[in-house]
Amino acid sequence: MTTFTDAHRATLRALADTFIPALPPEGPHSGFWARRGSEAVDVERVFEAIREQPASAQQEFVKLLDLLQSPLAGLTWLGPLKPFGKLDAAQREQLLQSWARSPLPPLRQGFAALRKLLIFLAYGSSSAETGNEAWAALGYPGPLPDEVVDTARPIRTLTPTTLTTYDCDVLVIGSGAGGGVVAGELAAAGHDVLVLEKGPYCHGCDFTQREVDMLGKLYDAKGALSTVDGGVTLLAGSCLGGGTTVNWAGSFRTPDYVLEEWAREHEAPHFLAPSFKASLDAVTRALSINTDYTRHNGQNQALLDGSTRLGQDVKLIPRNEKGLTDSDHHFLGLGYTTLGDRYGIKQGTLNTYLKLAFEHGARILADTRVERIVVQQGRATGAEAVHTTAGGQPVSITVRARRVVVAGGAIQTPALLLRSGLRHAHLGQHLHLHPTVAVSGVYPHPIQGWHGPSMSVVNDSFTRLHGTNFGAKLETPPVHAGLMAMTLPWLSGEQHKRILLDAEHLGSFIVLTRDRDGGRVRVDKQGRPLIEYVLSDFDRGSLLAGVRGAAEVHVAAGARKVYLPHGTLPVLHAADGVIQNPEVLAGLPRLNWKPNRFNLYSAHQMSTCRMGGTAATHPVAPSGETYEVKNLFVADGSAFPACSGVNPMLTIMALAHHIAQEMKATGPAVGQREAAGAARAL
């Protein structure tokens, strides 16, 4: 484990005070101006996030702090040859500004990593007793009053405390949109199912609505997952229920043109078969998908109003919520469900397929990392894993299984298969991310994007650009203080504080790009995933077309300023629905869009174990079984032949449902399963 020193702690506190400096009081929020970053940032949280990274990234972070502690730091910006902590406040800010625009990628990466971590922690951290002192100035309410009765957990997970061996018909690794569905379907059909989940099991009051706590608990790498170069921040669920526990509830059907593309270009005709439509219909019913909500939040209303005024294609988004009323209680609570749903409204796998699996005898083991799949004579026969007890003790787990289903997501699934010895040439390749940027508008009226459904409206006017199947969708993101502060560009401590004072009036649209060109996932010597992805020129063109569209919708909806998503913070000014400085918008393609010159995000990872009819170019067959190893299946977004172009939850669930039906048809007969179960009982 990487060791950090007191000198490292002191440097991080000095950095926090530079990103969030104490400034002379202004107006009614004197405490906000006077507050410094070191008062708000627990540097131990920084170290926790860094220790979740691959060993190489941990080493680079230590080198970065060591450089800042050295007089040689002055050479990086042609300033005084002094350690960072010995510079005055203005000089520290100048050093960071220099790194932000440096032509040297490592300096830009260092700046971006420090900025994201420290600013997110400063504005996203809170305690139950005192909250966060900055929130009042932002107008952010923080967690809602506790009106939830703590109910019994509907699922009882296994709790081994010593080395344990399990036998099962089907081992399912991962419990999200893919694994949860497979587990529910097969258990209900009489199969003996064991589910292993890397993350924790949370229910009801476990979801505290506290941003830093929940990202640290529910997301992979404590919410700090990123590409090797730091250019893309990835959000991936890592808890029981996976992405369905923390996603934004949007439940899109796969577009017909995407299904046709997958079937034609990847020799996967089942995507056009009635059986796949039946699977889409089945999961739609199970998740209670509907458009019956009665209220939009400020951001979605702006997207609806602006798009309508421009005559653009705008639709309501189907959402997987049940028992929703038009009460303020439900409306306010929906804004926090990306941090886990306290109220049981969102119908992810926690409330549907995993419950079904448990009720039909499936065993579920959370807090368990699978080290490798056991392969014997070309067949998967189980897995080796490590469970972490409630007290933090590691426990070795061995599983013997007749079939193994991997559904850990498009980052962890290929990493596990590579750790297990699979060597297909395309395994880990073709990574698609739906690369996403935020375009924010300042409105004359309150927006309060932290309340209401995170996404309820979508603009599809830019999804198929220039006669292709590629383009971008305009949607809205969840808004909370830490993520908002982290996403907004930082030019100086004063500028960043000033922009945050508009938080209550700030509405954001995201440009979600269907990327044509992909990246890859490989593993380091310790078997940890290394994610490589750089936005291609083609995909940047799609993204910038979406940025222009988002800016124009903001202005049509009444925004008076629009912040464009580049580190130099280009700003559009508008009056009466007209852009006053259109040259700024026209100049976007001429800006430098290299990694870490702008904020790029991904909440959807896909296609790293793509399925198709050609074994030489696709690791997974249309049945879901890998070509390389028998009885080993992949049932998550990594099996997509290419990028889905829409929020992928429903497509993943339908694909997993479809794979499960074939597994039922080709598995052992019920009588054989019962005999095997009786033998195990003896």
Residue 636 token pair: 């998550």
pLDDT at position 324 = 87
pLDDT at position 264 = 98
Q: What is the pLDDT of residues 413-445, one digit of tens each?
A: 999 999 999 999 999 999 999 999 999 999 999
Q: What is the pLDDT of residues 52-98, one digit of tens each?
A: 999 999 999 999 999 999 999 999 999 999 999 999 999 999 999 99
Please say if the pLDDT value at position 350 is more than 60.
yes
**DSSP 3-state assignment of 356?**
helix
CB distance 142 to 125 below 8 Å: no
Residue 319 token pair: 């959402």
Q: What is the pLDDT of residues 265-286, one digit of tens each?
A: 999 999 999 999 999 999 999 9
The DSSP code for 70 is S
Question: Concatenated DSSP letters for 443-485?
Answer: -SS---TTSS-S--EEE-TTSSGGGSS--EEEE-----HHHHH
CB distance 6 to 47 below 8 Å: no
Partnered with residue 572 across adjacent β-strands are: 562
Cα distance between residue 462 and residue 459, in whole Å? 8
pLDDT at position 668 = 66
CB distance 489 to 454 below 8 Å: no
Per-residue pLDDT band at 327 (split at 50, 70, 90): confident
Please say if the pLDDT value at position 169 is more than 90.
yes
Please say if the pLDDT value at position 671 is more than 50.
no
Please say if the pLDDT value at position 670 is more than 90.
no
For the segment 114-143, the average pLDDT, to the nearest whole number, is 94
Per-residue pLDDT band at 666 (split at 50, 70, 90): confident
Cβ-defined contacts of 580-586 (< 8 Å, 24+)? 585/548, 585/551
pLDDT at position 399 = 98
* Size (the chain), residues: 682
pLDDT at position 330 = 86
What H or E segment, with its residue span, contains residue 571? strand 571-575
Q: Which fold has domain 292-319+436-514+536-594?
A: Cholesterol Oxidase; domain 2 (3.30.410)
Total Cβ atoms within 10 A of residue 363: 18
Please say if the pLDDT value at position 651 is more than 60.
yes
Q: Which fold has domain 157-201+245-282+365-430+605-682?
A: FAD/NAD(P)-binding domain (3.50.50)
Which spans in 274-386 are helix H?
274-286, 298-309, 328-334, 353-359
Say which residue the tokens 């174990």 belong to.
609
* Mean predicted lDDT score pLDDT of the chain: 95
Residues 6 or more apart whose CB falls under 8 angstroms from that of 136 comprise 29, 32
For the segment 483-499, the average pLDDT, to the nearest whole number, is 97
For the chain, domain boundaries: 1-155+203-238, 157-201+245-282+365-430+605-682, 292-319+436-514+536-594
Buried b (16+ CB within 10 A) or exposed e, 425-462: ebbbbbbbbbbbbbbbbbbeeebbbbbbbbbbbbbbbb
Say which residue the tokens 């705008």 belong to.
314
Percent of the chain whose pLDDT exceeds 90: 92
Per-residue pLDDT band at 232 (split at 50, 70, 90): very high
